[in-house]
Amino acid sequence: MVAVVDPSKTDTILDPACGTAGFLISAFKHIKEKNSNKLTPDERKRLIKNVVGYDISPDMVRLSLVNLYLHGFSDPHIWEYDTLSSDDRWNETYDVILANPPFMSPKGGIRPHKKFSISSNRSEVLFVDYIAEHLNPKGRAGIIVPEGIIFQSGTAYKELRKMLVEKHLYAVVSLPAGVFNPYSGVKTSILLMDKEFAKASKEILFVKIENDGYGLGAQRNAVKGGQLEDAIGVLKLFKDGSFKESALAHTVSKTEIAKNGDYTLSGERYKLVNSPMYSNYKLVELSEIIKLSSGNGLTSDKMKDGKFPVYGGNGIAGYHNEYFIESPTIVIGRVGAYCGSIHIAQPCSWITDNGLYVTEYLRKDVNQTFLALMLRALNLNRFAKIGGQPSISQTTVK
């Protein structure tokens, strides 16, 4: 992450949740290597002054100070500071911000001050907002975030993603679950920001790393086939304007990301949209050949014994003594772990509001069985919104 953000010897650098100062030390080493370890005494003094860390824990502050002293910082600048609740340092901005902030929010949530652009009590939302708002006009940042930031459907998450896409973000790097073992098995991604570059770019780059060079078990032993160096190269090519799509990375227009208002930052969601399709036949959108509707509510306690199948989010959920579907039709799971699953409802059946179903075929030449197989092959579940439970909308399907 430090190599991609590429801090320079004149940059001011912040980690707002610095822990043991790992990112700050990595940035310091990167700058020294970049300058062939030939920094002048004045340059070194200025660099040490420009490297700043905050942490809410006094123990972490002490560890950071010791760590920086051991790496040659004669005057380290680490402050015991509550980044999210205190506004004493709100007006301090930086050229580079690097962070892997805590994902967990305390019971009842964070109680932030009123200066944040995004109203939330979730620590991951507030930290990303803080970083975006504290970059200088040409500032760059790299931040490790949990999956909630990528696709949670809550208002604060969507507002945050909208702000990032419009003003700050240029790339999202998906990391494999287990990359932080043995400390955490949570799936994470890296958000990369560059305010100047993002303002000029009409696209966002999505990189999917499946092998970081280490096994994903508790021991994290070295393995062959690591993709980190390739990912760094792809990110640099994207900023240089010479990027070509590959299995590792692809771009998506900001217009496409903004289309349904969710601003989802999962690259997989857009991969199908951007993939070229070749056929000897005319290609049409789903909305041109079918109409969809949600089913009718029917809870299990109101289901009466009968012979008519009831379809929910994943096929037959029971039987009822009434039906409203006369003919066979395609059912798409709408809510739940199996949303996006495809079934063909039998004639004389009931479809609950956990499913979407085809109410009308707009063309006579549509083969229902073939269409169901095509929809199944699309794996619609990967387009699901992740909120209280996964769900997929009519708009997304169309």
59's CB contacts (< 8 A; 6+ apart) are none
| Other Cβ atoms closer than 10 A to 307 | 9
Residues 340 and 370 grouped into a single domain:
yes
| Predicted pLDDT of residue 103 | 82
Q: Is residue 309 part of a domain?
A: yes
d(CA 377, CA 191): 30
Domain membership of residue 59 (yes or no) is no
**How does residue 129 score in pLDDT terms, banded at 50, 70 and 90?**
very high
Assess if residue 10 is contained within a domain.
yes
In the prediction, which pLDDT does 182 show?
64
- With a pLDDT cut of 90, the percent of the chain lying above it is 50
Average pLDDT, the chain: 88
Query: Residue 226: how many CA atoms within 13 Å on its side-chain side?
Result: 13
Residue span of the structural domain in which 300 resides? 286-397
Range scoring the smallest mean pLDDT among 90-99, 316-325, 375-384: 375-384
Cα–Cα distance for residue pair 333/331, rounded to 1 Å = 7
> Any idea which residue has 């900023």 for tokens?
239
Task: Report the domain count for the chain.
Answer: 2
Both 182 and 146 in one domain: the answer is: yes
Higher pLDDT, 218 or 333: 333
Confidence of residue 171 (pLDDT cuts 50, 70, 90): very high
* Same structural domain, 302 and 246: no
Secondary structure class of 153 (helix, strand, coil): coil
% the chain with pLDDT above 70: 94
CA distance 193 to 199: 10
Higher pLDDT, 392 or 94: 94
Q: Exposure of 320 by Cβ count < 10 A (0-12 exposed, 13-18 middle, 19+ buried)?
A: buried
Q: Which of 90-113 are b and which e, b meaning 16 or more Cβ less than 10 Å from the residue's Cβ?
A: eeeebbbbbbbbebebeeeebebe
pLDDT of residue 286: 84
CA distance 321 to 301: 13
Edge-to-edge strand list for the sheet holding 169-174: 77-80, 51-55, 13-15, 94-99, 135-146, 188-194, 169-174, 203-208, 249-253
Residue 328 lies in a domain: yes
**Residue at which a domain ends, from 212, 239, 274:** 274
Using one digit for the tens of pLDDT, what is the confidence trace for 273-332?
555 556 677 778 888 888 888 888 887 777 788 888 888 877 788 888 888 988 899 988
Low-confidence winner among 116-120, 175-179, 208-212, 228-232 (lowest mean pLDDT): 175-179
pLDDT tops 80 at residue 37? yes
**Residues 346 and 256 occupy one common structural domain:** no
Place of tokens 């789903």: 286
pLDDT bracket for residue 335 (50, 70, 90): confident
- DSSP calls for 296-344: ----GGG--S-SEEEEETTEEEEEES---B-S-EEEEE-BSTTTT-EEE
Structural domain includes residue 125:
yes
User: What is residue 279's predicted lDDT score, i.e. its pLDDT?
Assistant: 63
Is the pLDDT assigned to residue 398 strictly greater than 70? Answer: no
Q: What local confidence, expressed as pLDDT, does residue 317 receive?
A: 80
What is the DSSP secondary structure assignment for residue 288, as one 8-state letter? Answer: G
Note whether residue 25 is domain-resident. no
The mean per-residue pLDDT over the stretch 177-200 comes to: 86
What pLDDT band is residue 386 in, cutting at 50, 70 and 90? low
Q: What's the pLDDT score for residue 278?
A: 60
Do 386 and 152 meet the contact criterion of CB atoms below 8 Å apart? yes
Q: What is the pLDDT of residues 229-276, one digit of tens each?
A: 999 999 999 999 999 988 899 999 999 999 888 899 988 877 755 555
Residue closest to 191 by CA, chosen among 1, 385, 337, 47: 1
Residues 263 and 368 both lie in one domain = no
Whether residue 77 contacts residue 53, with contact meaning beta carbons closer than 8 Å, is answered with yes
Query: Is 339 part of any domain?
Result: yes
Closest to 340 (Cα-Cα) out of 248, 272, 246, 276: 272
Q: Write the CATH number for 292.
A: 3.90.220.20
**pLDDT confidence band for 151 (50 / 70 / 90):** confident
